[in-house]
């Protein structure tokens, strides 16, 4: 079923909208939330909460890209759940290492005074990522947005883990340079 038809089901307040959303985007949402949470039960709870939130938001919202809309909600809910669980007590997951890797490129304790505001920083990072060649952009997004492990990325991209690590290292260094040139204090 096409996205516009699924959105139409939401506007009609048909519960079929939820099953169609799950049919089309459920696997992606489960993978995304599992990569963040590292626990199947928590991931499933997060996906269910995602559908409830989408139900609450459509209408009045009419997302241009339903998949991105649903994924953003799922990711944000998973990150919120992770914060509540205090990740260190649950044994750490690949996202913990991803945060450590990227922390050298992004200012800690971002304040309105230090970085103009978080939206400016997000805009700068978005511009940087979109300027990357396709392969590097995919690797970067898989690691720092989807929280895939280096070995998962290597398998998906059909390359060695060392190449993935080197690509990520060089991309982080370029991001750091780019942000410093844009006036972000690191």
66-104 as b/e, with b when 16 or more CB fall inside 10 Å? Answer: beebbbebbbebbbebbeeeebeeeeebbbbebeebbee
* CA angle at 76 for the pair 157 and 140, rounded to the nearest 5°: 25
- Residue carrying the six token digits 């949402």: 29
Per-residue confidence (pLDDT) for residue 122, from 0 to 100: 77
Per-residue confidence (pLDDT) for residue 123, from 0 to 100: 82
Q: Distance (Å, rounded) from C-alpha 98 to C-alpha 109? A: 18
Per-residue confidence (pLDDT) for residue 135, from 0 to 100: 96
Mean pLDDT per block of 10 residues along the chain (186 residues) reads: 96 96 96 90 95 95 94 91 65 57 61 52 86 95 88 95 96 91 79
Q: Structure pTM?
A: 0.69
Per-residue confidence (pLDDT) for residue 183, from 0 to 100: 82
């Amino acid at each position: 079923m096409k996205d516009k038809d699924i959105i139409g089901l939401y506007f009609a307040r048909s519960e079929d909208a939820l099953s169609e959303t799950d049919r089309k985007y459920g696997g992606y949402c489960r993978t995304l939330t599992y990569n963040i949470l590292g626990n199947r039960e928590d991931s499933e709870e997060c996906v269910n909460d995602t559908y409830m939130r989408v139900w609450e938001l459509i209408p009045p919202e009419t997302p241009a890209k339903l998949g991105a809309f649903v994924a953003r909600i799922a990711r944000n809910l998973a990150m919120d759940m992770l914060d509540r669980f205090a990740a260190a007590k649950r044994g750490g997951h690949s996202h913990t290492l991803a945060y450590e890797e990227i922390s050298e490129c992004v200012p800690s304790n971002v304040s309105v005074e230090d970085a103009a505001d978080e939206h400016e920083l997000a805009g700068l990072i978005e511009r940087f990522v979109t300027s990357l060649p396709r392969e590097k952009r995919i690797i970067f997004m898989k690691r720092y947005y989807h929280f895939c492990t280096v070995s998962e990325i290597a398998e998906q991209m059909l390359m060695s883990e060392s190449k993935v690590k080197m690509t990520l290292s060089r991309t982080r260094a370029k991001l750091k340079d780019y942000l410093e040139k844009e006036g972000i204090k690191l």
